[in-house]
Every structure is written in structure tokens, then in C-alpha cells.
Structure 1
Amino acid sequence: MKVVVAHNRYREAIPSGENVIVDTEIAQLTAAGIEVLPFQRASDSIGELPLAQKALLPLSPIFGRAAQRDLADLLRRERPDLLHLHNPYPLLSPSVVRTAHAHGVPVVQTVHNYRQVCSSGLYFRDGHNCHDCRGKVVGWPAVVHKCYRGSAAQSALMATTLAVHRPTWKSVDRYIALTGRIADHLRNYGIPDDRIVIKPNGLPDPGDPEPLGDGFLYAARLSPEKGLALLLDAWRRHPDGALGQLRIAGDGELRPLAEQAAAERADVTYLGALDQAGMVAARRAASVIVAVPTWDDVLPTVILEAMAAGRPVLGTDVGGIPYLVGIGETVTPAGWAVGPDPEKLATALPIARADAAAVAPAARDRYLRAFHPDVVTRRLIDIYADLTGNSHPASR
């Protein structure tokens, strides 16, 4: 089987779980005998584009004409069985779906966020969840609130892109929803059940877990929706040193918040942005991984990495986190999920620290049963086979 994997890579300076997942999935598919043809563009390349292409860049999310020419050449030359799309913005454009269909190639898309409807992809703005654009032909609330990159002009372009490509998204042959919450989002958008399958992401097995360290690790993009302010509010409700060490890894607009906390308290350390080796070391030093977004985070990669390493997770009960840690799905979940409230989180912190060693085996077991490559890659190949073996693909 020959598969084109299409993805617009997020900027490398900002940690992207989606980039990690795409790279991992390509490696897993290749190891399983699938011939993968990567078709990727990188947002980091925008600064290197010729002036003529930069002038046309605002239209890329709608048309992506250069990408369509290159993709058409690839499809004619390689004649793949299907195209698997991840993120199309800004350089690929949803038009890759139309280009693939024009060449008789069915399309699978993994839905990592809510951008069929929401210009930011988060259903989150100004510190709260937001669904103002749901059900609207054009998402003008996104323009009013400058939801895309803080710009009214760019938000207008993204809202227009979403409106123009509504028929494009309705034509995708099979959607992969990472969780039931994403499946509900797609149904609300008008996608029928027979075109939605639920399959989570997976990560390579790092091997048998090392003994737990001590304290907590928070590793995320330092932006408002990731919950750093919530965590620090909860942490400050305990005396300095009462919970061991809180290590904060990542970078972003809330970096001053992390630096201030580290300056004020001896039990807070700001590690900055870490490479892969640095993250492995930081996880090894911790006993609990903290993932406390306040938006409906779909499937945080940091939680998968934690469970694979045998580290329990303290998370908020939003988005896909309860599913990830196995709340209600296993006898012993891989951690704890509490409401995104500082008092509730403050109460959970000492419980998580005290019970970490008892819960750690369940975290590793949850990974092996639900997110190991042997499980998720087989599921993905089955999805491909079902689609390419179907003589009645979705209407286009």
C-alpha cells in the first residue's frame, strides 16, 4: 500500500505535539511495510520565500496553488492508494483534498483540533471556552475578537477559508477522530457516522520505566489555554517545599509567569524550552506529570509520553484527558482528572504525590493496552484497507 502523508509543520520554535505525532506515525507505518510518501511544508520556511510568493501568502490557506501543483505532480508520478492529511494551514490549504479527489485518490484526515469551525482551532478565547462561530456560515465573531494570530485581517481570511472549504471538508472520505469529543464535533459539523472512526495517537515504546523521581513536571507551550496560571495558583496554596519540586518546561508568551514563580519560590524551577533528551531527563526526575489545560485539549502528547514512561498524570477533566488517563475505562486509571479550578487542583496535588508510586504501574499498563504502536498502527492500517477496498467511496 502506498500512502501520501500531507502535513503543514508548525514552527519548530514552538513545541508541537502534532509534529511529533506525524513523524512518529510515518515511522510506524514504514516499519509496518507501508510505503509512505511525505508531502510536507513547514511554517518555518515562510521567511525564506521569494517576494512574489510572500505577496500571495495571504491566499495560501484558501488555494495553496503552489502546493496543489506539486501535489498533482506527486499523485501522477506515484499513483498512491490514498492521501492522509493532518494540518493543511497555511501553506497546503484544504484544497489538497480536492486535488487528491481530482486524481481519484481517497482522503483520510486526522482531526487534531476544531478548525473546521473555529479559526483558532481551540474553541477557546479570552480565557474561556467559546463556540460563537458554531453553526454560522461565516465565523465573523472570530474576526471581531481577532482569534487567529491576534489579527482581524488574518482572522477574516481564516473565517473566509473555513466558509469556502465547507464543501471540501464535507467531501473527505474518512475522518479519524482522536477521541469521542472530536467525533461529536464532527457530527455537529454534519459529518455522518459512517465516515468517522475513532483512533487515538500512539508513541514508540521507550522501554521499561525507570524508578520514579520526585515532584511534578509541567511541560507545555506557555500560552493561556495550557493552564500554567491555574497550576501556579494551586501550587501557591501550599507552603514552599510541601509538595517537592515543580519543574516547568516550555516557552511562550507566559514565560514571565514561570520565571516569576521560580524567582519567588525555592520549590519552583523553570527549565526553559527542552530538546528531546532534556524532556526525557525531566520526566525521569519527576514522579507525576501535570497537564492542566483549561480548553478542551484534544489529546495532549505530553500525557502519552508520561504513561509510556510509567509516570502517572494529574490533569484537568477537559477534552480528551479523562479518556487518555482511563477515567471510567479501567479499574485503576493512569492518574487523576479534576475540574480546571485552583482549589480542586490544590487539593489533588498532595494526593497525587502521595499515591504516585501506587498508580505508576497503571499508567504504563494504560499505554501498553491503548497507545502502543502495535495497537494504534494496526488500527490505522485497517482504516486504510477499509477505505481503499470500498468500491463506494464517499460522494464528492
Structure 2
Amino acid sequence: MAHNRYREAQPSGENTIVDAEIAQLTAAGMEVLPFLRSSDEIPSLPKTAKALLPLSPIYAPRAQQELSRLITEHRPDVLHLHNPYPLLSPWVVRTAHRHGVPVVQTVHNYRQVCSSGLYFRDGMICQDCRGRALGVPAIVHRCYRGSRAQSALMATTLAVHRGTWHSVDRYIALTSAVADHLRDYGVPAERIVVKPNGIPDPGRPAPLGDGFLFMGRLTPEKGLGLLLDAWRRHPDGALGPLRIAGDGELRPLAEAAAAERADVTFLGPLDRAGVRAAIEASAVVVAASTWHDVLPTVIIEALASGRPVLGTALGGIPYLVGADAPREPAGTGPAAVASAAPGAGRVPLPTGVVTGETGWVVPPEPAALAAALSVARAEAARLAPAARARYERTFHPDVVTKRLIDVYADLAATARR
């Protein structure tokens, strides 16, 4: 299991998922050899290593040597790669293949194409580098760490390793949207498996609380500004409480909203117990991302706790709430008939609001989100049982771990043949 851990000062769902995956595989009887590096190691690197650090995304010689030794000693069946930057480099794929070891990669972002990995720039979705041999727009706009030089290096890395990424034996797409991204990049459909992350079972859901919870990084792409714009379209107290949890550059925005309205509470950053308590106190979890968010873990946490989700129709959010199948626009066609059929008393859907299996998705616009807030408040209790059922069926560790082991077994058998 190869992964370059993000800095501990930067909360990372990816680090958490890798740790959980190693634990779940080990518990299932697999022998897991962690090949982990951390960006926290960078300040303590020797001067010579620091001097070569700018080139490590393209080729990290020390990592290749250490990986070769590990493979030679243990002869693993599969190398499973998560994040290779900056200390591992995509070159680990070539190193594994040189030793005859097949490679799986879980795709957590869009960095095969986008230097920042987000498809998001200057407050808007951006795909300017899509289809280009070299991501010149990323260099012009300093998309990687706000530096033109580092952006040039990352854009060059992506160009150099295009063939490397196309040689990966199996991709794990966390959602159907990521699978679409990989196919657009040129990866054959037969090399892509859709397998979401799982989280530990929190146990039997507590009764629904009241109001809404927004939890995550307080950064522009997570949509706190969008949510507050929509929230202000309702009178104070009309929707119950809105709780905001997290930290980041938009913390002043959350604090100002809490000072402005009695129905908004800013909880700040929370530990695991605090997260559980905040979810249980609420009836609906909101994921208002304004970028193609790959797989917001907060949604899986909500489903595990039996809380439906209101999200924007971007990235993996429709998949997570079971709303990614093609549907008629709200208010017309068979969908409108279904919403008026069995289940009398259901709230008519405003234009743009789509009901999924375990929640609702809307365009990332304040008016649409404001309308959906009223629907979600009225309908939360109806969808709560389905939320927990979807978690058990799709995101429970037992389910996702078995799916992952099946991927490994298929690749190992193919390699032996």
C-alpha cells in the first residue's frame, strides 16, 4: 500500500481512508506492507535530498530504490497506490511493473489532468487543461501552490507520466463521476472499477435531531458561501438550526453568520466525538460543494448515522445519495407522477430539486438550494431509514473490503497467467 501522506496540519480524508483501508484489509486476513512517506518529512530531509525535491514528482530515486528492495524481499501480489506526490512519484508504477507486480490506484482527485487536482480555480469550476498535452493554463494561473515554477513542474510531471498513468492495471474510481473522468482521460472502461470508500459502522442510528449540519473544510470550493446565501432567503428560525463545523480560510464568514442570526451556530473544528454528536443533533447534512467534489466523507458519515443528505449535483455527490441515474426534471414526466403517488403528503419538488434514494441534489445556485432546504426539512424523516440502508449495502467496511480483495485477486490471477 503506497501513499504519500499529506501534512498532519492539513486535515486529510485521504490519510484517514488509507489508514482505515490498511486496518480493514489486515482484519480480513490480508498481509499488508505499508510503503508510506509523509510530507511532514520534508523539513528534516538532508540538504542533498532537499535540493532534488523539486524533481521528485517526476522521479524520486530514493523511493524507487526502497520500493525495489521491498518488492524483492516480499514479492507482493499487488501494489496499491494512493497519492504519489511529492516523495514517491508516479514512477513507482514503472518500478512495480519492472518487477512484474500489477498496480491498482485509487483516484482521489483529478490530478491526472489538473495540476491542483480540483478542476477549480478562482471560485469557479475550471477544466482549461483538459485535453492538452501540457497544462499551460495551470502555469499561467499558478494553480499548484500559488507558484508559477511549481505549477510548471507539476504540469510537466503530468505530461511526462501520461503513459505511466495509462499503464496502471486497474483504477479504483470512488464514484461513477470519477469513472467518467478516467474514461475521458483515455483509460479503457474494463480497467476501471467503481468502489467507494467505507467508514467504520457507528452503530444503530440515534433518533433524528433538528435542523441542518454543514461540516468540512471552510474553503470556497466547499460551498459555505452558497449555503449561507440560500439560508438567508428564509426568515430566522424558519428551518430550525444550522450548525457549521470545521475550520479554514472562511472561518470569519461562519462566525459572522452565527453573530448575525440566532438560528446559526458555529461549532469550530471537532474531534471524532464532536462530529458524532453534531450529526446526531441534526436531521439533514448539507454538502454544498461548488466543485466536482470526488467523495465527501461527511456524506458517508451522515448515511451511516441515518441522516439524509442535501447536496449539489456535482462530482460524486449524486452517486453518494443515489441520485446519479438519469431522471426527468422536477415537476414533469414520470418523476412528477411518482412524487405524487404512494406516500401521500409528500412535498412537491421545486424546479431543479431532484430526490435520490437518500437525499436531494440541486444545481449549485442559491435559489435552488434555498428551495431544497424547505423540502429537506419536511421530508427528512421519510428518507432517514433509506440513508442507513444505503450505508449498510454500499459503504460498510465489510462490503468495500470484500470488493477491494476481489480486485486484488483478479489482478493477481491475471498476472500469474
- Alpha-carbon distance in 1 for matches of 2:240, 2:35: 45
Structure 2 counterpart of 1:60, one-letter code: S
1:279-309 deviations in whole A, cap 9, x for unaligned?
1121121111111101111111110111011
Distance 2:24 2:85 in 1: 24
Alignment partner for residue 146 of structure 2, among 143, 147, 150? Answer: 150
Structure 2 distance, partners of 1:362, 1:17, is 25
Partner of residue 268, structure 2: 272
Counterpart residue identity of residue 117, structure 2: G
- For residue 115 of structure 1, what is the aligned residue in structure 2? 111
* Conserved 8 A contact 2:321-2:356: no
Shift in CA distance, 111/328, structure 1 to aligned 2, threshold 3 Å: closer
Picking from 176, 180, 186, the partner of 2:176 is 180
Cα displacement (A) at 1:205? 1.3
| Structure 1 equivalent of residue 360 of structure 2 | 336
Alignment partner for residue 234 of structure 1, among 230, 235, 239? Answer: 230
C-alpha distance in structure 2 between counterparts of 1:350 and 1:48, whole Å:
52
C-alpha RMSD of the superposition: 1.7
Say which one has the larger Rg.
2
Please tell me the residue identity of whatever aligns with 2:18: V
User: Unmatched 5+ residue regions in structure 2?
Assistant: 328-354
Q: CA deviation at 1:350?
A: 2.1
Aligned with 1:109: secondary structure? strand
Give the match's secondary structure for 1:289: strand
Q: Which residue of 1 aligns with 2:125?
A: 129
Which of 364, 381, 389 aligns to 1:357? It is: 381
Preserved contact between residue 195 and residue 403 of structure 2 (Cα < 8 Å): yes
* Equivalent residue, structure 2, for 1:261: 257
Query: Deviations along 1:328-348, whole A, 9 cap, x unmatched?
Result: 669961111111000111111
Q: Distance in 2 between matches of 1:332 and 1:69?
A: 48
Counterpart check, 1:18 vs 2:14: yes
**2:318 is matched by which residue type in structure 1?**
P
Cα distance, 1:106 vs structure 2: 0.8
Question: In the alignment, what sits opposite 1:373?
Answer: 397
Residue 122 of structure 1 and its aligned partner are, at CA, apart by: 1.1
SS of residue paired to 2:32: strand
Give the counterpart letter for 2:364 in structure 1. P
Alpha-carbon offset, residue 103 of structure 1: 1.5
Contact 1:332–1:362 at 8 Å: present in 2 too?
A: no
Pick aligned residue for 2:248 from 239, 247, 252: 252
Residue 200 of structure 1 aligns with which residue?
Answer: 196
> Which residue is 2:99 aligned to?
103
**Distance in 2, Cα, partners of 1:279 & 1:46:** 31
Any idea what the Cα deviations from partners look like across 1:162-197, whole Å, max 9, x if unmatched?
Answer: 011111111111111122221121112111122112
Q: Using a 3 Å threshold, how does the CA distance of structure 1 residues 391 and 56 change in structure 2: closer, same or farther? A: closer
Aligned to 2:40: 44
> Partner letter of residue 198 of structure 1?
V
Q: Percent identity?
A: 73
1:53-92 matched pairs, under 5 angstroms: 53-92=49-88
CA contact (8 A) 2:288 2:312 kept: yes
For residue 117 of structure 1, give the secondary structure of its aligned residue in structure 2.
coil
- Distance in 1, matches of 2:106 and 2:413, equals 19
Separation in 1 of the partners of 2:68 and 2:416?
23
Query: Displacement, 1:55?
Result: 2.4
For 2:380, give the aligned amino acid.
Answer: A
Decide whether aligned partners of structure 1 residues 328 and 130 sit closer, same or farther in structure 2, where only a CA change above 3 A counts: closer
Per the alignment, do residues 298 and 328 of structure 1 end up closer, same or farther by CA in structure 2, a change over 3 Å counting? closer
What amino acid sits opposite 1:174 in the alignment?
R
8 Å contact 2:102–2:415 — kept in the other structure? no
Q: 1:195 to 1:145 in 2, by over 3 A?
A: same
Residue 338 of structure 2 corresponds to which residue in structure 1? none
Per the normalisation by structure 1, the TM-score is: 0.94
The structure 1 residue matched to 2:155, chosen from 159, 162, 167, is 159
Alpha carbons of structure 1 residues 63 and 391: separation in structure 2 relative to 1, 3 Å: closer
CA distance in 2, matches of 1:387, 1:316: 36
Question: Is 1:384 aligned with 2:408?
Answer: yes
Match of 1:303 in 2: 299
Matched residue SS, 1:237: coil
CA contact (8 A) 2:105 2:168 kept: yes
Letter in 1 for 2:115: S
Is the CA contact 1:15–1:250 (under 8 Å) kept in the aligned structure 2?
A: no
Query: Which residues of structure 1 form unaligned runs of 5+?
Result: none
Q: Deviations over 1:83-137 (max 9, x none)?
A: 0001111111101111111221110001111110100111111122111111111
How far is 1:392 from its partner? 7.9
> Structure 1 CA distance, aligned partners of 2:389 and 2:324?
15
Task: Please tell me whether the aligned partners of residues 14 and 251 of structure 1 are also in contact (alpha carbons under 8 angstroms).
Answer: no
CA distance, structure 2, for counterparts of residue 291 and residue 188 of structure 1: 26
Q: Which runs of 4+ in 1 moved over 3 A?
A: 328-332
Matched residue pairs, number?
A: 389
CA distance in 1, matches of 2:359, 2:108: 23
Matches of 1:328 and 1:145 in 2, distance apart? 32
- Return the offset for 1:391: 4.3
Structure 1 contact 248–270 (Cα < 8 Å) conserved: yes
